[in-house]
Structure 1
Amino acid sequence: MAYREFDAPQYSRRSLLRGGAWLTAGAALSAMPMGRAALAQGMPGGWDNVGAMVDKYVGERKVANMVAALGWGDKKPVYVARGNLALGSQTRAGADSLYRIYSMTKPVTGMAAMQLIEDGKMGLDQPIAEHLPLFGKMMVQKTYDGSVTDLVPAERPITVRHLLTHTAGLGYSIVQKGPIRDQYVKYGVVPGQVSRLPIPGLGREEAIRGLDKFANNLSQLPLVLQPGTKWSYSVGLDLLGRVIEVASGMKFDEYLRTAIFEPAGMNSTYFRVPESEVGRFTTNYGILNGTPLPMDPAASSVYLDDPAFPFGGAGLVSSAHDYDRFLKMLLGYGMIDGKRVLAENAVRVGTSNLLPEMATTKGTWVEGQGFGAGGRVQDGAYGWGGAAGTVGFVSFKAGLRATLMTQYMPSEAYPIHEGFPRAVLADLAAMQGA
């Protein structure tokens, strides 16, 4: 995404919620020679560029806080933390502070699906209609974002692979325009939340309550593209949450809790922030003319309410500690602290390029790169960013995991999605004496 600050008191829902930018430095990260990368692992500290970036943003009051977690292999992470939970707060932000991670939820949902695939409860190329029959006969817009009545039949079924990789042809209310977006809003197919506050330009769109109802309504709307033909950011990972429910026989949020969060030691990851934990919850800010203004104050956050349903694409709140645990588990190919959480093959396949052979990425955020189970894949690196400035990735070739937590919207107001991986890369080069 391009760097842009808003100069008018109107916020686009699309720009506020999308979290597509991730790291462009993935290739350079993974290009580190394996031997030299191993040498870097033995060196203490050295995250000077990351520290300088964090100091700059917090020191200039562009954000209230930043917390980075950086770790090698299965070693404990180094935390770089600056600032307070909110501007004017006296409570320091740290490893256990809570952040809205938005689209960094997608890799979590994706890996949950990969485990069910490994368990034989769903198939990577299985039509989702075998779990959700209403998706058996989908119609597709003749013209992208055009008429919602001038339609043609889908040329092939939507599969689990399509949902994982944003190639199902599904739309997104934060991406689509015209009558198809209106349909998504009308039917409550708007899986995301920002604030209880009436923010100009944000709208007060409400998601239909119930993941089953969300899926049913979505099945009645036309696709925007033929399945399997193009990468297009979508509600695919939200719909995958419903497929997971049916395949596992458990509520989606319960499946995540029992299959990933608890075994991985992620004890601060929620779809709804418990009242007992509000004291470590950060405030989210909207950037207006370069100035952060409270958009979702922690004490009155929309995340204190029960969500319409557990949003598998953008619903989680987590901490730097917890997301580092998730990445550490991935870097261990499903193992963490001697405990197996996911099957090795589930991680290896999920962090590989799963794009359908015929699908194009031309003109998209991931052009020329791969896409795995809910995250970008590039030369041995896997991860994704969130709409409120968060970033998380692993580099299997470098043996590195990295998380950055902060809270501001829109994500492109500051070049943090790109800047954090570049700072990590600069520190790696310095560690090796480059």
Structure 2
Amino acid sequence: MLQFSAEYLSRRAVLRTSAMMGAGAAAATLPFASTAFAQGIAEEDAQARWPSVAAFMRGYVDREMVSGMVATMGFGQDAPDILSAGTRTFDGSGAAGPDSIYRIYSMTKPITGLATVMLIDDGLLSLDQPLADIIPAFANMQVQKQYDGPITRDNLEPARRPITIRHLLTHTAGLGYSIIQQGPINAAYRQRGIVPGQISNMAIAQEIFGGRPAASLADFAEGLAQLPLVYQPGERWSYSVSLDLLGRVIEIVSGQQFDAFLQDRILGPCGMTSTGFQVKRGDADRLTGNYFVMAGIPIPIDLPRSSVYLHKPAFPFGGAGLVSTGRDYDRFLQMLAGYGEIEGKRVASETAVRLATSNLFPETLASNGGFETGGRSFGFGAGGLVGTGDTEGLFGWFGAAGTVGLVNMKWGLRHNLMTQYMPAETYQVQQQFPLMVAQDAAGLMLS
């Protein structure tokens, strides 16, 4: 998970000031974006526009810390600038580019979050609706008194309030995560297939990253309902499987399979033709390799020709299951920057996008229960962080293999980075990339 640095935050403040000085009040589509931006420019020109980003990417590739990187940056509805460096795998299988396919893991969450909010906008859900209205098994939940303690009667107490859709969107439902929880609750999650996604066909990787998933989203949801919560609902931000559970909510409420709903309502209308829960074998040559960094050495754990993503998953993981490309994910960010509209086509209502990208934390949140990172507090929207103070307008999230997907709704600045290494915390990629973007964007605004 990203840890914002103080330097990043201070530079964002500088960028905000620069934007205000250079263009008056900032707008959703920045009025000083150039014609070259609107039309798209050659990559060598993009390197000149984004020198800090280009140097940052080249540094990681030249030091063989990652096999490749692809970055897209854009303003409002303008075409993106695209930078790329390196290859899809360390064996030099081909140059990384905007149509190379990456595992975006938790960058799936804002897409699932928006899908949920679209159903709220349709009148089929409400933000504070109890989850048990939709999945009755979640009525009368029990909560661990001791975090990650024993799953025994003397360590359980009744939930003080029902889990709601708002709680699921903001990771405040009190649900756990097998990549975070320890002890008996972790073992119980694994035993019931309550796992966050798929990493590799390698047995050792399956063991490290969570085990075998449940057979279906319905089984996932029913199994999860049988386990205690790790926190009281509505009181504390705790990273969880809540967006995966929302996939089942979407299925029940919409009457469609979750993956079909995403395709019909978001992926298809946005023109995200290379985004999905499975990679077609004919597209294997576009798939990148994923690596686990051990003692500074990237070890392959999922390579294109033997990838777990060439097979249909047990179910579509709404929290971490999608693969995408730099070009595709930029289109999702572009749609958000357009408040639901992309290239004149309405995908979601402005009301839905404003709600999804706003701070949705419940009023019951404990004083120390919010989302904090790098010594700063953030709000949380539909599956992504929400900036406050000098980061106001920021929305998006990050992926377990080093990816970044952010848009500043106030300025219309969108930025996306694709790469593949795990754990994401091994390098400072997710901290450094937004800082480099902010530095170069300030220069563009003042030029």
Residues 77 and 334 in structure 2, CA contact (< 8 A), matched pair in contact too? yes
Q: Secondary structure at the match of 1:163?
A: helix
Shift of 1:429: 2.4
CA distance in 1, matches of 2:19, 2:232: 41
Residues 1:238 and 1:30: Cα distance change in structure 2 (over 3 Å)? farther
TM-score between the two structures when normalised by the length of structure 1: 0.92
Residues 208 and 308 in structure 1, CA contact (< 8 A), matched pair in contact too? yes
Match of 2:435 in 1: 422
**Pick aligned residue for 2:105 from 102, 106, 129:** 102
Residues 1:165 and 1:23: Cα distance change in structure 2 (over 3 Å)? farther
Residue type of the alignment partner of 2:168? L
2:167 aligned with 1:175:
no
Alignment of 1:132-143 (within 5 A): 132-143=135-146
RMSD: 1.9
Q: Secondary structure at the match of 1:326?
A: helix
2:416 aligned with 1:411:
no
2:402 aligned with 1:392:
no
Match of 1:202 in 2: 208
Residue type of the alignment partner of 1:137? N
CA distance in 2, matches of 1:23, 1:116: 36
Residues 375 and 383 in structure 1, CA contact (< 8 A), matched pair in contact too? yes
CA distance in 1, matches of 2:370, 2:19: 31
User: For residues 311-333 of structure 1, what are the alpha-carbon distances to aligned partners after superposition, in whole Å with 9 as ceiling and x for unaligned?
Assistant: 00000000001000000000000
Residue type of the alignment partner of 1:297? L
CA distance in 2, matches of 1:377, 1:297: 34
Shift of 1:359: 1.4
Q: Secondary structure at the match of 1:63?
A: coil
CA distance in 2, matches of 1:243, 1:216: 12
Alignment of 1:138-287 (within 5 A): 138-149=141-152, 150-199=155-204, 202=208, 205-287=211-293
Residues 1:235 and 1:295: Cα distance change in structure 2 (over 3 Å)? same
2:33 aligned with 1:41:
yes
CA distance in 1, matches of 2:272, 2:156: 45
The share of aligned pairs that are identical, in percent, is 51
CA distance in 2, matches of 1:241, 1:254: 11
More helix by share: 2
Residue type of the alignment partner of 1:246? I
2:384 aligned with 1:375:
yes
CA distance in 2, matches of 1:32, 1:232: 35
Q: Secondary structure at the match of 1:368?
A: strand
User: For residues 349-391 of structure 1, what are the alpha-carbon distances to aligned partners after superposition, in whole Å with 9 as ceiling and x for unaligned?
Assistant: 1101001122145585455110000000001110100000000
Residue type of the alignment partner of 2:109? K
Residue type of the alignment partner of 1:370? G
Q: Secondary structure at the match of 2:382?
A: coil
Residues 34 and 398 in structure 1, CA contact (< 8 A), matched pair in contact too? no
Residues 1:56 and 1:346: Cα distance change in structure 2 (over 3 Å)? same
Query: Which one has more relative contact order, counting CA pairs under 8 Å at least 6 apart?
Result: 1
Shift of 1:289: 1.7
Shift of 1:151: 0.8
2:365 aligned with 1:356:
no
Residues 18 and 446 in structure 2, CA contact (< 8 A), matched pair in contact too? no
**Which moved further from structure 2: 363-372 or 117-126?**
363-372
Q: Secondary structure at the match of 1:53?
A: helix
CA distance in 2, matches of 1:31, 1:116: 37
Match of 2:64 in 1: 61
Residue type of the alignment partner of 1:163? L
**Which moved further from structure 2: 394-403 or 42-51?**
42-51
Q: Secondary structure at the match of 1:66?
A: strand
2:134 aligned with 1:131:
yes
Residues 1:23 and 1:382: Cα distance change in structure 2 (over 3 Å)? farther
CA distance in 2, matches of 1:332, 1:246: 29
Extract unaligned runs of 5+ from structure 2.
24-29, 37-45
User: For residues 173-212 of structure 1, what are the alpha-carbon distances to aligned partners after superposition, in whole Å with 9 as ceiling and x for unaligned?
Assistant: 0111111111111111112111112337716611111000
Residues 237 and 370 in structure 2, CA contact (< 8 A), matched pair in contact too? no
Q: Secondary structure at the match of 1:392?
A: strand
Q: Secondary structure at the match of 2:262?
A: helix
Extract unaligned runs of 5+ from structure 1.
1-18
Shift of 1:228: 0.1
Residues 402 and 430 in structure 2, CA contact (< 8 A), matched pair in contact too? yes
Alignment of 1:18-97 (within 5 A): 19=1, 21=3, 25=8, 27-28=12-13, 30=16, 32-34=18-20, 36=22, 38=30, 41-42=33-34, 45=46, 46-97=49-100
Residues 30 and 381 in structure 1, CA contact (< 8 A), matched pair in contact too? no
TM-score between the two structures when normalised by the length of structure 2: 0.89
Residues 1:410 and 1:348: Cα distance change in structure 2 (over 3 Å)? same
Shift of 1:39: 6.5
Residues 172 and 234 in structure 2, CA contact (< 8 A), matched pair in contact too? yes
CA distance in 2, matches of 1:330, 1:209: 33
**Pick aligned residue for 1:315 from 310, 321, 324:** 321
Shift of 1:306: 1.3
Q: How many residues are matched?
A: 416
CA distance in 1, matches of 2:291, 2:328: 22
Residue type of the alignment partner of 1:33? A
Residue type of the alignment partner of 1:41? A
**Which moved further from structure 2: 419-428 or 23-32?**
23-32
Residues 1:66 and 1:192: Cα distance change in structure 2 (over 3 Å)? same
Q: Secondary structure at the match of 2:278?
A: coil
Residues 371 and 377 in structure 2, CA contact (< 8 A), matched pair in contact too? no
Q: Secondary structure at the match of 1:156?
A: coil
Shift of 1:36: 2.2
